[in-house]
Amino acid sequence: MDFGTNSVGSTRAGADRGPAADRLVEMSPSRIGGLRTKGQYTTAASFRPTGLVRRELAAAPGSFVWHDLHSSDASESGAFLRNMFGWCSKTLGRRTLFTQGALHVAGIVAVSSDPNVHPGTWRPHLRVANVDDCVARARVLGGTVIKAAEGIPGLDRHAEICDPTGASLVVADGTLDRRTVGDSTIAWDELHTRDTRISASFWTALFGWTTDWVVAGAEPIGVFLNGGERVASFRHTTDSVFDRASRWVPFIQVGGAASACAIATGLGAVVTARLTDDPLLGGAAVLRDPGGAEVGVCERKQTR
């Protein structure tokens, strides 16, 4: 796990972010080349990452700070992410780090190719004040500890926990943080759960979050609030072969969801869900890449 630059994050869950939380420590032009399909390049202006990517300093506990994709076909998933979003990558053993505009945006870890294991799952990393306390509370609340706490307290200690419905993420403490925002970077996290009531109760009790609701269509969309600020959303999964298990789905910001879906299918991905004019994400869709991993694309940047 690699979080990057120095951070001055608060030490309590849900703490208000100080001025340092919004201070930019690095800005760099993002890649300007068109995104490549199988055999050709696209020059669609609406989908070319021409803006700036930036890394912000400090994230309060209860904030997402990193994302790793655990994939049984890391080469296929990695090739898709590079071609789709213009990312560059560097591989070190089983781990690959992706960069956008010279800044880290995500990682991918090669895991077992056992056919009984899901072919690809994203693991969001969330900052907490104390990993060991968080793990203990998770057990009391009915959660499962998938990976026990390890690392140095206050520096890089982390653990993986799972809610009662099966959705998991990594909790981490320390003073290091790497968040990159802008075009072709991860802009939002959404929990797709088999039981919104159980999942919402677990995560709010664990992290001190509160919830709000956005009413749209047949079923409202839940929003997790960290110290009054939107940090993620949650909604009920559909009962389809692609969308059944509870899991966290990261959404990558794009210029146009329709163009993104066309490019993704050209690269061998499958569009598993279209969220037309979503009240939170604007135009959005969920994709399953050729390696079997799932990722979302969205037009609207959420304010963390």
CATH code for the domain in which residue 90 is found: 3.10.180.10
Q: Which two tokens stand for residue 303?
A: 């304010």
Q: Is residue 143 part of a domain?
A: yes
Residue 58 domain-assigned (yes or no): no
Q: Within the chain, what is the greatest distance between any pair of CA atoms?
A: 53
pTM: 0.79
Residue 26 in any domain: the answer is no
Structurally, the chain folds into a number of domains equal to 1
Smallest Cα–Cα separation from 133: which of 159, 156, 155, 152?
A: 159
Residue 123: domain span? 63-298
107 close to 158: Cβ distance less than 8 angstroms: no
For the chain, the residue count is: 304
Assigned domain for 293 exists: yes
Asked if residue 177 belongs to a domain, the reply is: yes
Query: Residue 273 corresponds to which amino acid?
Result: A
For residue 136, what are the contacts with CB-CB under 8 A and spacing of at least 6?
none
Dist. CA 198–CA 125, nearest whole Å: 21
Residue 92 counted as domain residue: yes
Confirm whether 5 is domain-assigned.
no
Per-residue pLDDT of the chain (304 residues), as tens digits, is 433 322 222 223 333 333 333 322 233 333 323 333 333 333 333 334 434 455 544 678 899 989 999 988 888 899 999 999 999 999 888 889 998 877 889 999 988 766 556 678 899 999 999 999 999 999 999 999 999 999 888 778 999 999 999 999 999 986 555 566 777 889 999 999 999 999 999 999 999 999 999 887 667 899 999 999 999 999 988 655 556 689 999 999 998 999 999 999 999 999 988 877 888 888 999 999 988 888 999 997 655 5
Q: Does residue 213 fall inside a structural domain?
A: yes
Tens-place pLDDT, residues 91-123: 888 889 998 877 889 999 988 766 556 678 899
